[in-house]
Amino acid sequence: MGHPSDLYTMTISAASAALEAGDISAVELTEAVLRRIDAVEPQIQAFLTVTADHARLQAQEADTRRSQHGRLSMLDGIPLAIKDVICTHGVRTTCGSRMLDTFVPPYDATVMVRLNQAGAVLVGKTNCDEFAMGSSTENSAFQITRNPWNTDCVPGGSSGGSAAVVAAGQALGSLGSDTGGSIRQPAALCGICGLKPTYGRVSRYGLVAFGSSLDQIGPMGRTVRDLALLLSVIAGHDPLDSTSAQQAVPDYVGSLTGDIRKLRIGVPQEYFVEGIDSGVEQVTREAIAVLRDLGAEIIDVSLPHTRYALPVYYIIAPAEASANLARYDGVRYGSRAAAETMWDEIEQTRGAYFGPEVRRRIMLGTYALSAGYYDAYYKRAQQVRTLFRRDFEQVFAKVDMLATPTSPTVAFPIGQRVDDPLAMYLSDIFTMTANLAGIPGLVLPCGFCDHLPVGLQLLGRPFDEATLLRTGDAYQQTTSWHTYQPTLS
């Protein structure tokens, strides 16, 4: 047991065990996290809202519950942070946008209902790129979040706040959302673990929509075991989300056997080509060698359509975004710019309250969906999307999972890519095919390059998160990359 002031460094599973043993209380744990937020938040700027009073109340309730009837779940009394695109009843939810500056949802997202039923403590809502569009969190309308490993660098994005808080000890775990890499890329850049579940595994009800056929909510934490704990609570069918799957939720924690002997792991050649930083490639290959030493069979494979991922993603995601964001017209909710006529009002509202990246996406998407271009762009992109799915189907007939780099580079300096959208878009080149094909992806820290963390990505068969988690956990049982923590003054 650490000194009470170090409690914020604990993993969820260690804290859960300590709570159960009565070594610590939820109030002590939450107070330690809140003190840590006070101490480092001026440097990190990861929260848009800190819910300190609410957290204290929830922690007290967790302690009372435990003393009277026992805990609700392994997450009972655990302080978590939630990306600000996930609706929280009574707690401001901005999506990093001026458009929703004052929006207080009158309901909870399904993942929040489930976390509340499990007894988790909400410490705050985290910064993100506006409407989750971006790879550095610099598109937030409110503030720039810093990477805890080097505060001159971005934390990645769009779930940069959710990644930074876990790395900096401002929450024990968090939720993010991933449309093209937004959980996995910031997890890699901040040296933590993140999981994008299979499309349909976790309810999207109450997640503010970006690209509805791509979006998934997923867990972020210090260890793969912690992700398994979080996923166990948030996964499962939800009648409120018609795209959520009627699939049984396996025992994720029970599947962490540490044994990956005979597992076949494919290494796709297309993920080790031009553009990848040589240091990142080397660290990734070393991690794959560790999996081989643990008894997995490493097999070279090919996903021939990978090179179309970027153009296809940047037609489909903006097309869906342009439809989803049509609701922000200044009438139903959100900010409103007053004008003479209704059309002026809508135009001025969007001009005043959407940032440049969001406007760019709406323009791109509207163009791709317009009558004369629909077949040439949107329909064609959907056809190529099927080819990605087939690439994966064919390869998963031969191997149980794939191991790849997460992002071509480590965290980059703040400001470096903001004026070059294409350079920014390339940050997610290794992550977006998983969203296009709907398959799960796990990221875990596997080393450092230029003193910044590198993440290994494991991609799995649809609904086979358990095998990814087992593999990631086996890796963490024999390596210590996940135990490194940034030093913050």
- Contact set with ligand GLN (CB under 6 A): 132-135, 158, 178-182, 210, 317, 428
C-beta closer to ligand GLN: residue 250 or 421: 421
List 25, 140, 177, 182, catalytic entry: 182
Closest approach of Cβ 90 to ligand GLN, in Å?
A: 25
Closest approach of Cβ 187 to ligand GLN, in Å?
A: 12
Stated as kind and residue range, the H or E segment containing 27 is: helix 26-44
Residue 453 CA: distances (Å) to CA of 133, 147, 153, 297: 23, 10, 12, 26
In three-state secondary structure terms, 398 is: coil
C-beta closer to ligand GLN: residue 58 or 136: 136
Closest approach of Cβ 134 to ligand GLN, in Å?
A: 5
C-beta closer to ligand GLN: residue 447 or 455: 455
Nearest CA to 8 out of 127, 183, 173, 148 is that of 173
C-beta closer to ligand GLN: residue 181 or 221: 181
Residue 177 CA: distances (Å) to CA of 86, 204, 247, 310, 387: 8, 10, 20, 19, 25
C-beta closer to ligand GLN: residue 58 or 179: 179
What φ, ψ does residue 475 adopt, rounded to 5°? -60, -45
Residue 4 DSSP class: G
Residue 428 CA: distances (Å) to CA of 42, 90, 184, 327: 28, 33, 9, 27
List 83, 135, 244, 322, catalytic entry: 83
Tell me, yes or no, if 13 is annotated catalytic. no
C-beta closer to ligand GLN: residue 25 or 216: 216
* DSSP string for residues in 197-225: PPTTTB--TTBPPSSTTT-EEEEEESSHH
Tell me, yes or no, if 232 is annotated catalytic. no
Can you say whether the dihedral through the CA atoms of 429, 96, 123, 117 is positive or negative?
Answer: negative
In three-state secondary structure terms, 419 is: coil
Contact 265, 403 (CB under 8 A): yes
Closest approach of Cβ 154 to ligand GLN, in Å?
A: 12
Closest approach of Cβ 161 to ligand GLN, in Å?
A: 13
C-beta closer to ligand GLN: residue 253 or 426: 426
Q: Which two tokens stand for residue 2?
A: 């650490």
Closest approach of Cβ 36 to ligand GLN, in Å?
A: 27
List 158, 177, 244, 427, catalytic entry: 158
| Sheet-wide strand order for 216-221 | 47-50, 121-126, 79-83, 173-178, 216-221, 193-196, 441-449, 452-460, 401-405, 264-268, 297-301
| CA–CA dist 334, 341 (Å, integer) | 18
Closest approach of Cβ 73 to ligand GLN, in Å?
A: 28
Contact 364, 356 (CB under 8 A): no
Q: What are the start-end ranges of the H helices in 354-464? A: 356-369, 380-396, 421-425, 432-437
Closest approach of Cβ 184 to ligand GLN, in Å?
A: 8
C-beta closer to ligand GLN: residue 171 or 317: 317
Q: What is the C-alpha R_g of the chain?
A: 21
Catalytically active residues, by annotation: 83, 158, 182
